[in-house]
Amino acid sequence: MASYPELAGRVALVTGAGRDAGIGAAIARRLAAEGCRVVVTDIAASDANAAAEGGSADIDSADGVARAIVDGGGAATSVHCDVLDEASVQAAVGHAKAEYGRLDILVNNAGVGFLMSPIAETSAEDWDRVLGVNLRGAFLATKHAAKLMIEGGQGGRIVNIASQAAKSGFPYAAAYCSSKHGMVGLTRVSAIEFGSHGITANAICPNHITTGLGAWQNSFFSDALGMTMDEYMDSMRSRIPLGRPGLTEDIAKTCAFLCSDEAVYVTGEAINVSGGEEMH
């Protein structure tokens, strides 16, 4: 049952939503359940990112996620979108306009988190890839989506999926942390520049969620700290007041709220959804 009936018929575009177990797909499913018409976008599952994080081409594609939504009675289409490529981003936003004539919601979710190394050993190429997808990609999608929202004259919602790494530093994650801190800056400027058009912009900062990316990070950090996976997960749980890592649905719920009319006066925020692990 929909929690926010006003979302029925609104058009949402979610980047990086083609991994069945990922945060973007959970957001796409939740917005569709609220009655939104969802444009599910992602790069091809055969990309190095999917391979490095153990993706499966069968279900881990924008097509697969959109098909499952439609099979379940929701409204969705899919389009390939590489957020590193401005023309590709522009075409995805153009797809929303051609298909539905409007865009009400943009969720900047695409991200890479598997390029981790100490600063002294981080290549400029890896730095550029992480900043390129996580931050420049969000900027490009915001740029083109906001133009369409402003043209439509009906306001809009921008939700940036940042991270706990937007608030705190983590070893071996200089590029990732910098990109996510940068996303909060992008969120604040978006809130200021687009506020007069009735467009809100907020970031969500999840802690750990065992998606493909999250599982890769668990394995990387448990190895780096010399812990077994069980020891690593126990130490993680001990830092979280609510006693468990996050679920993709926790993020989707907060995203749906931020997209709803209930959040009409919330903008420029970076909201922790971390079971209390992050409190500032």
Ligand X SMILES: NC(=O)c1ccc[n+]([C@@H]2O[C@H](COP(=O)([O-])OP(=O)(O)OC[C@H]3O[C@@H](n4cnc5c(N)ncnc54)[C@H](O)[C@@H]3O)[C@@H](O)[C@H]2O)c1
Which residues are annotated as catalytic? Answer: 176, 180
What residues have CB less than 8 Å from 71, skipping those under 6 apart?
Answer: none
Rounded Cα–Cα distance for residues 76 and 97 (Å): 14
Q: Cβ 267 to ligand X, closest distance in Å?
A: 20
Rounded Cα–Cα distance for residues 262 and 157 (Å): 12
The residue sitting closest to ligand X, measured at its beta carbon, is 111
Minimum CB distance to ligand X smaller for 220 or for 257: 220
Backbone angles phi, psi at 117, to 5 degrees: -165, 160
Rounded Cα–Cα distance for residues 54 and 49 (Å): 9
Q: Cβ 23 to ligand X, closest distance in Å?
A: 4
Strand order in the sheet with 75-80: 75-80, 37-42, 11-14, 105-108, 156-161, 199-206, 270-273
Contact set with ligand X (CB under 6 A): 15-16, 18-19, 22-24, 42-43, 49-50, 53, 81-84, 109-113, 133, 161, 163, 206, 208-209, 211-214
What residues have CB less than 8 Å from 94, skipping those under 6 apart?
Answer: none
Report whether 158 contacts 145 (CB < 8 A): yes
Q: Cβ 30 to ligand X, closest distance in Å?
A: 13
Residue 58 CB coordination number (10 Å): 9
What residues have CB less than 8 Å from 222, skipping those under 6 apart?
Answer: 228, 229, 231, 232
Q: Which of 86, 97, 140 is nearest to 11 (CA)?
A: 97
Minimum CB distance to ligand X smaller for 20 or for 195: 20
Minimum CB distance to ligand X smaller for 62 or for 199: 62
Minimum CB distance to ligand X smaller for 81 or for 271: 81
Q: Cβ 69 to ligand X, closest distance in Å?
A: 15
Q: Cβ 146 to ligand X, closest distance in Å?
A: 18
SS3 of 185, please?
helix
